[in-house]
Amino acid sequence: MTQTQDDRLHAWCVDEQTFPTSASAHEKLRFCLQYAILAPSTHNTQPWRFVLGDDNVLLCADRSRGLPVSDTYDRELAISCGAALFNLRVALSHFGCAYAIRTMPASAEPDVIASVQLLDEGFIDGPVAGLFAAIPRRVTNRQMYDTRRVPQAVVDQLCACAESEGARLQPVADDAGRMRLGELIDRADRAQLGDARFRRELALWVSAARRDDGMASYSSTESSLLDFASPVLTSVVRTFDIGGGIAASHRRIVEGSPLLVCLSTPADNQENWIMAGQAMQRVLLTLTDNGLYASFLNQPIEVEALRADVGAGASDHPQLLLRVGYGASQAHTPRRSLASVVS
């Protein structure tokens, strides 16, 4: 690994032993934000920024890092911010810092996702504190998974995690259900990659020129779902409709995945998207704790004409589609420095 790569992955190497136990609330919050920024985000856009006060921090949406074509209403952006908020909750609870959280605290400031304040006496979430060790181990794994089935006890645990955050997780493990979702993913891939605007947007985030965000860091292997790290391939994404090839790849992945899960919420607004992000991250950390990996197959949810079909007629609103299974280890994606996202 080169020095440049070391620098890009430095954010994943936080030493919890250096937590400033006797320092100010400001310093404790700043330390815990190192774990917040390890949350996943669509295309690894990392669409968050933090405004740090004496004893509180505002989590804000950085809409300059949005995806106007594939995420027109910033739904996935809000979900990503919700995941960062959950990581912060886990870290604060792990270090014994009592806190109070208000989501969307200022109606006149739509970019403020949440306010987190440290308190002398307040809430510490013991159950989520137990997920702390999973934060630096969690990784989005886009490779093929083993054929081993996920134990039902683990599936039930994942569903309970989503429910505890106000969301619902619908598992799909049968062949017919996986094939149905595979067809939807196939159609969504063809629709998205047949759109020149989408290809240009995607190319921006898979460009080899990106260093601390985006997806150019994924290794080039035959089993990768999307590998556009080279300038040549980035140009192909910009120029040509490659939906058929990617769709075929995604269908093979679905057919070889032991478990697919759809995460949904009762309503479809920013408050529910933030809730979905927290539920998603609780699920991801829990499956990491169980030795499992996950990756996202959100294409049919991003295509509005297909979104309702993902839930197969359920009244809830589908927010995320994930594949879950056992597999080989995968490298982390890079992160922007804490200094670049905190003011």
pLDDT by position in tens, the chain (length 343): 443 445 567 899 999 999 999 999 999 999 999 999 999 999 999 999 999 999 999 999 999 999 999 999 999 999 999 999 999 999 999 999 999 999 998 876 889 999 999 999 888 999 999 999 999 999 999 888 998 999 999 999 999 999 999 999 999 988 888 889 988 998 998 899 899 999 999 988 988 788 899 987 553 433 344 433 334 344 444 444 556 666 666 677 777 788 999 999 999 999 999 999 999 999 999 999 999 999 999 999 999 999 999 986 667 999 999 999 999 998 899 999 999 999 9
**Is the CB of residue 262 less than 8 Å from the CB of residue 321?**
yes
DSSP alpha helix (H) spans, 216-325: 231-239, 243-255, 270-289, 299-302, 304-310
**Is the CB of residue 195 less than 8 Å from the CB of residue 343?**
no
Indicate the domain borders of the chain.
7-136+333-340, 152-219+229-325
pLDDT at 217: 54
Which segments of the chain are extended strands (E)? 48-52, 56-61, 99-103, 112-118, 168-172, 259-265, 293-296, 317-325
Q: What CATH homologous superfamily does 152-219+229-325 map to?
A: NADH Oxidase (3.40.109.10)
Indicate if 152-219+229-325 has the same CATH topology as 7-136+333-340. Answer: yes
b/e code 147-182 from CB counts within 10 Å (16+ = b): eeebeeebbeebbebbeebebbbbbbbeeeebebbb
Give the C-alpha separation, 117 to 123, whole Å.
11
Whole-prediction pTM value? 0.91
Residues 6 or more apart from 4 whose CB is under 8 A from it? Answer: 211
pLDDT at 138: 97
Q: What CATH homologous superfamily does 7-136+333-340 map to?
A: NADH Oxidase (3.40.109.10)
Token output for 206: 């898979």
CA count, 13 A, side-chain hemisphere, 11:
23
Residue 112: which of 53, 171, 39 has the closest Cα? 53
pLDDT at 136: 97
pLDDT at 239: 42
**Is the CB of residue 277 less than 8 Å from the CB of residue 167?**
no
Classified as helix, coil or strand, 167 is coil
Residue 36: which of 97, 91, 77 has the closest Cα? 91
pLDDT at 241: 54
Handedness of CA 34, 320, 174, 224 (dihedral sign): negative
pLDDT at 144: 85
Give the C-alpha separation, 312 to 260, whole Å.
14
